[in-house]
Each structure stands twice: as structure tokens, then as C-alpha cells.
A and B are shown apart, each in its own frame.
Chain A
Amino acid sequence: MSLQVIKHGDVVVVEVDGQLIVGNRQELKQRVLDEAEAGARKVLIDFAKAGYIDSSGLGVLVSLAKRLRELGGDLRLANLNDDLQTLFELTKLDSLFQIADTRERALESF
């Protein structure tokens, strides 16, 4: 997995390329926490290039969402593929996140 961080105004966009799994989840967590530490409050994670998220990866997303909400911000998701979309629906995690079809829609939603 590789991460790329891009800033759109006051929104920090994190592009995830590859699988978000137990072995690399801390990398994403630390990256987003570093941005939060630097003042970011609106974070969008773009999964356009991600094919799989395991249960540990889901845990990190929820943990980050909680942290940002505590700081008065929010974590949103975009570009989940069909499998990931189904996973979020089947596990009811779609009730915890605002999920957009595209990055543009996600950016507009903030």
C-alpha cells in the first residue's frame, strides 16, 4: 500500500493505493493523525485505487473518524469499489461514515 496526501483547500485528501490490511494500517493511521496534529480537521480518504480492506483496516478508519470528530472535524470516504461498498453495507459501517461515489462529490459535501 502507498499513500499520497493532497490538499484541496481545507480538506486533506489521502489516496490509498493497494490493500489496507493489518500490516500497513498503522501507516495510514499515523499519516492522518500527523495531519490532524498539524491542524487538519476535514479528511477525505479516496479508495479509487484500493481493492481490499480487512477488518483491521476498517478498525483504523473508525478510530480515525472518532478522533477527528472529537477534534470537531470529520473523516469521509470516496470511491469505494463494489466489493468494498457491499462490505460497508453488510457490516453496517456505512452508517458510521459519509461515503461519496466520487472525490468531487465528497469534497462538495464538506
Chain B
Amino acid sequence: MSDVARVLDAFSEVYGCGAVLWLRGAEAIEVAATSGGDVTPPMIELLGDDETVRSRDTALGRQLVARIPGRTHAWLGIGPVADDDAEPRRWMRVLVPVLSQVLQSQWEASRAADELAERYEEINLLYSISEILGRTVTLEEATRTILLEVAETVGAEYGALFVHDASSGLLRPVTTLRVAGALVPLAIPTDDPLSVTARVFRTRHALLVNAGVLESDLEAPFRQGAMLTVPIVWTTPEGGIPLGVVCLSGRRSGASFTAGDEKLVAAVGSQIGTAIQNARLVRATLDQERLASEMRLAHDLQLRLLPDSRVVAPDAICAARVEAADGVGGDFYHLFRLGDRRTGVLIGDVSSHGYRAALIMALVMSAAAIHAQTTADPAETVQALLATVEEELRETEMFLSLCYVVIDPVAGTVRWTNTGHPHAFVISAGGEATRLAATDPPLGLGPEGLHGDSRPWSAGDLLVMFTDGVSDARDARGAALGEPRVLDVLRARRRELPSRIVDGVFALVEGHMGRMRPHDDQAVVVLRTA
């Protein structure tokens, strides 16, 4: 009443008479505030229910009393005033509305506090759910606790929480309350015409159905009489996206669910919707991170499968490099010392990249290590390789272009089998590039029976092989680097160390691509015999 007291004090100071405010309490009318002057409590009969200003004469002078309009039962009295009370009555007409406004504000504040106190349990529920959802990443962990809390608050004994599985079009039960094991509810198709759960999901509107209304066998395990069903919605700037449904039933009090219950459960549904979406985003991020991590591991593993180029020393000096477009790739090379100063060099390109190509590559690498040591005939080696990977290639619809070269500097020959690999050359000391032409289509595409070819090999000759990721490297306008420019670099650097030549080719490729990412794996092998 401090605001009222201040108003009364101000009035008394200005008009020089006392003022009093009476309020009807639970049992009697009581003085709520006074100021200055001598206004004694009026006779009860003086306090009318209308807003008429009433007067009475006392030993101290005349007093005026009026009812203050509003929800609060209050009266204002002032006095003493002059017998001619026309002027004081005008004061009353000013003061009464002011007090009415003050009392109305106090009444509203009091009601809000009462309502807040009444809704404390529900607010506490929402707060608890926020806490539960905030500290969990796995939605399944949280849903049972949430359903229990909601059911407790609205007094429901039975409940079920369904989440929509977009891939199957089903509402799948995530958790239930008081449902016997044998009666675990089945998934509900979202287009089920009889299910209240499905209907609420489709319409995105809560539904309160009474006992005996819209009963469905699918909902029998968690429905007991009336059922309150509310959608779980994820709200976006474009609108709400339904993610699931909460069903509550079997109210302990036997009374119907109220509009307040519906609003409360809808608020919880909205929180769960946000939590589901967050959990899905977290899960997707974790999956992506795990995949990226696995790809890095696979890339490292793949690089370790490639041999050290020094394995052919001292018969030959070699340098090689593979750059994978997708973390793991399908380009590879292998090097073999075959005895009698012969050197075997294999370069290959699986017709794809990524995991499947890397698996084929790993298979070929391990098989090549075995077969290359059993024969010095490239065609026989590649035929054995084909036998190893043929079924895998057929099942995956991939194919494999490779070139396997055996250099015999003692005999002065180079023999090869080339299954559709375009970029294999011998560059002479004089700078002439001779292509080691394909002898067969790529492995996995052609008919059975592989062929071989040969040509002379001279001291000072350079063997260079690269994959189409090098010659097809694209610049920002989409233009390919082209084989001739690669050969120009190879010819120009033919007298340099193989490692410098490989560096020169990749510098050309990187200069051509600029900031573009490679769309295919890139491999280069350069070798000269000692």
C-alpha cells in the first residue's frame, strides 16, 4: 500500500485535510492507508457499492466517503471539510480515479504473482527439461526422463513418445510409460487413417480425444481413456517441421485434460523438437568428422603401400609421386628389382577414386609384388594380376588401366604390357619421346589374352609414366593442361635427376591449376637405369 499512502500524503499536503483508504478484507473492512487529518472509520452503512460521494457530519467537521471503482473493494474518505463541500467533492472526483488506477495495478501485479506461483510446477518442468536436453547429446537418454516429468505434471499414467523416421515414413516409438513389454507399441505409418498419433503428426495440431473416440489398435498399448496428443515440432523461420508426437493418457484424477495441459505439453514438444534437431546435427557432424579422420588414415595407409623409389637402386634411379584427389585415390605405382639388373616399373589408374578405387589399388599392389617375382614377362605378370582382380572389377564395374615395363639394360631392351594406359614414354638422350603404346584395352573391359611389346633401351634413356590426372588437370576456365606441355617439361629436364623432373612436372600442374582442386588423382614416375 506504499503507493496509495504516498498518493494520500500528497493529497493531504495540498488540500490540508486527512484521507483514509478502507479495503474489504476476508472478514472485515479495514483501514489500509491514512494520511494527516482526522478521518475516523465510517459507519459500515456509509460505504455504498456505487460510486456516489456520501457525506457525514462529525464533531471534527464534515467527512466525505466514496467507493473506488475497480476489482478491489475499496473506499476513500477525506475530512474534515467545510460544510459547503462542493469543492472537496471535486477533489474526490480527481482523487478517486487516481487511486482506482493505483489499486488496479496492484491487483494485476498480485494476480500475476499468484498465477506465477500456481504455474510454478509447470515452469519448473520446462526448466528441468531444458536442463535435461542441454546436457545430453543422445536424445534417447533424455526422452524417457522428459516423458516421465511431463506425465507427472499433468497427472497422466500412460505415455508414448514417437519420432518420425523419414526413410521409412514411420513414427517409431522412442520411449513409453507403463506399457508392458509384450505390448510395446509398433511403429505407426504417418498416413494411417485411424491413428490419432499419425493424424496429429500430419496436421501438426494437438488433439484431445475422449475415451471411446478414435480408438486404434496401434495406440491401445499406451492409451487408457482420453488421450492428449501433441506434435513435436522444430520451428524454423520458414515454419514448423514435424519431427514426432507425444501421447499422454490415463489421467489419475479421472478429470479431462485441460487447455492448459495442452499448452504445456505443446511447449515441451517444441523443446523436444529443437533437441531432436540439435542431436541430429551433432550426430551428422560427428559422423563427418569420423569419416574425415578415417579418410586421413586411409590416405596415410595408401601412401605407405607405395614403395620407396630407392628400392630399385643401384640398378636404377627413380622418383615417383602420387597426389590423391579425394584423400584416397586409385592411382598407384610399384617398383621391382628383378635380378640381372632388370627393373620392373608398374603404373596404374583405377577408373574411379575414393574408397572402392583404393581397395582395388591395394589388391593390385599386393598381387603385383607376388607375380612380378615369378616371371620377367610383363604380359604374364599382368595376366596374373588380372586373374586376381577380375571378379572385383566385374562386381564394381570398374576397370584398370596400367602399364608394366621391364627394363633390361644388359640386353638393351624395354618390354611392356600396356592395358589402356595412354601416358608411358621413353625419352631418349636426344630428347625424342616414344610412346609405349597400349597393347590391350584396360583390364576389366577387354577380351581375354594380353599382349606385350618391346623396343630397344639405351643408356641415357629415361622412362616416364604419368596418369591422366596430370595431363587432364584443369585451370579455372576448365582448360586441360594437355599431354604435349607435360612432355615439353620432361624433355627439357631429361638430364636432371628423376626427383627434379618429378618436381618440375608437379610445378607445371600446380601452376596450371592455380587455386583449382584436382578432379582426379595424379601420379608421375620417372626412372633411368644406372
CB distance from B362 to the nearest CB of A (A): 19
Residue of A nearest to B424 (CB): A90
Size of the B side of the interface (Cβ < 8 Å), in residues, is 23
Beta-carbon contact of B397 and A55 below 8 Å: no
Tell me whether A91 and B437 are in contact in the complex, defined as CB-CB below 8 angstroms, given that A22-B352, A59-B399, A63-B397 are known contacts.
Answer: no
**A58 beta carbon closer than 8 Å to chain B:** yes
Residues of A within 8 A of B438 (CB): 90-92
**B36 beta carbon closer than 8 Å to chain A:** no
Beta-carbon contact of B351 and A55 below 8 Å: yes
**B12 beta carbon closer than 8 Å to chain A:** no
In the complex, A92→B351 CA distance in Å? 15
CB distance from B399 to the nearest CB of A (A): 5
Beta-carbon contact of A92 and B397 below 8 Å: no
Tell me whether A59 and B397 are in contact in the complex, defined as CB-CB below 8 angstroms, given that A91-B420, A92-B420 are known contacts.
Answer: yes
In the complex, A54→B399 CA distance in Å? 12
Beta-carbon contact of A91 and B422 below 8 Å: yes
Tell me whether A59 and B441 are in contact in the complex, defined as CB-CB below 8 angstroms, given that A90-B422, A92-B446, A93-B420 are known contacts.
Answer: no
Beta-carbon contact of B441 and A55 below 8 Å: no
Contact with B along A64-99 (1 / 0, CB 8 A): 000000000000000000000001001111011000
Which of B398, B437, B441 interacts with A93 by CB under 8 Å? B441
Residues of A within 8 A of B468 (CB): 55
Interface of B is mostly: loop
Tell me whether A91 and B352 are in contact in the complex, defined as CB-CB below 8 angstroms, given that A59-B399, A63-B397 are known contacts.
Answer: no
Which of A22, A54, A63, A91 interacts with B441 by CB under 8 Å? A91
Residue of A nearest to B419 (CB): A92
Residues of B within 8 A of A63 (CB): 397
**A50 beta carbon closer than 8 Å to chain B:** no
Beta-carbon contact of A91 and B442 below 8 Å: yes
Interface of A is mostly: helix
Beta-carbon contact of B422 and A59 below 8 Å: no
In the complex, A90→B422 CA distance in Å? 5
**B130 beta carbon closer than 8 Å to chain A:** no
Tell me whether A96 and B445 are in contact in the complex, defined as CB-CB below 8 angstroms, given that A55-B468, A63-B397, A91-B438 are known contacts.
Answer: yes
Tell me whether A62 and B399 are in contact in the complex, defined as CB-CB below 8 angstroms, given that A56-B351, A91-B422, A93-B420 are known contacts.
Answer: yes
Residues of B within 8 A of A92 (CB): 419-420, 438-442, 446
Residue of B nearest to A29 (CB): B397
Tell me whether A59 and B398 are in contact in the complex, defined as CB-CB below 8 angstroms, given that A22-B352, A91-B441, A96-B445 are known contacts.
Answer: yes
In the complex, A22→B446 CA distance in Å? 20
Q: Give B347-397 interface residues, CB cut-off 8 Å to A.
A: 349, 351-352, 397
Beta-carbon contact of B422 and A93 below 8 Å: no
Q: Give B286-335 interface residues, CB cut-off 8 Å to A.
A: none
Residues of B within 8 A of A91 (CB): 401, 420-422, 438, 441-442
**B461 beta carbon closer than 8 Å to chain A:** no
CB distance from A56 to the nearest CB of B (A): 6
Q: Give B433-457 interface residues, CB cut-off 8 Å to A.
A: 435, 437-442, 445-446
Residues of B within 8 A of A (CB): 349, 351-352, 397-399, 401, 419-422, 435, 437-442, 445-446, 468, 472, 520
Identify 27 residue pairs between A and B in the complex whose beta-carbon atoms are under 8 Å apart, listed by A's number: A22-B352, A54-B472, A54-B520, A55-B349, A55-B399, A55-B468, A56-B352, A58-B399, A58-B442, A59-B351, A59-B398, A62-B399, A62-B441, A62-B445, A87-B422, A90-B420, A90-B435, A91-B421, A91-B438, A91-B441, A92-B420, A92-B438, A92-B439, A92-B446, A93-B420, A93-B441, A93-B442
Residues of A within 8 A of B (CB): 22, 54-56, 58-59, 62-63, 87, 90-93, 95-96
